[in-house]
């Protein structure tokens, strides 16, 4: 029983560090996003905010761009050039940022 608890604790710790690694990769990749969305990711002009979006929703939005279900040629091109891992990393990064109140 104790061994199972240790294995579970180790798995949870690894999951947490994987999420941190994803967010770190997302922060690195976000430099490309900043050319339109600003480094803050906040809304400006007609460009929507991308911070604070729940990661699963962010991934769904990017997949919709990849599949041509959302209209925006720039975003369709960008999404098509990202791997699933990179999209997940961006989702983790931007999902962890908060809008200024």
Q: Over pLDDT 90: what percentage of the chain?
A: 60
Local confidence band at 99 (pLDDT 50, 70, 90 cut-offs):
low
Cα angle, residue 88 at apex, residues 94 and 10 outer, rounded to 5°? 105
**68 or 99: whose pLDDT is higher?**
68
What is residue 101's predicted lDDT score, i.e. its pLDDT? 40
Mean of the pLDDT values across residues 8-23?
Answer: 53
Q: Are 65 and 75 in contact (CB under 8 A)?
A: yes
Phi-psi region of 38 (alpha: psi -120 to 50; beta: other; left: phi over 0): left
Domains and CATH numbers, the chain: 2-96 (1.10.760.10)
Q: Which of 44 and 37 is assigned the larger pLDDT?
A: 37
Arithmetic mean of pLDDT, 80-95: 96
């Amino acid at each position: 029983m104790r061994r199972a608890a240790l294995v579970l604790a180790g798995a949870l710790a690894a999951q947490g560090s994987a999420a941190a690694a994803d967010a770190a990769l997302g922060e690195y990749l976000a430099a490309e996003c900043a050319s339109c969305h600003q480094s803050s990711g906040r809304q400006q002009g007609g460009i929507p905010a991308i911070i604070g979006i729940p990661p699963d929703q962010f991934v769904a939005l990017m997949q919709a761009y990849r599949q041509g279900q959302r209209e925006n040629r720039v975003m369709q091109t960008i999404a098509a050039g990202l791997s699933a891992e990179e999209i997940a990393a961006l989702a983790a990064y931007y999902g962890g940022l908060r809008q200024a109140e």
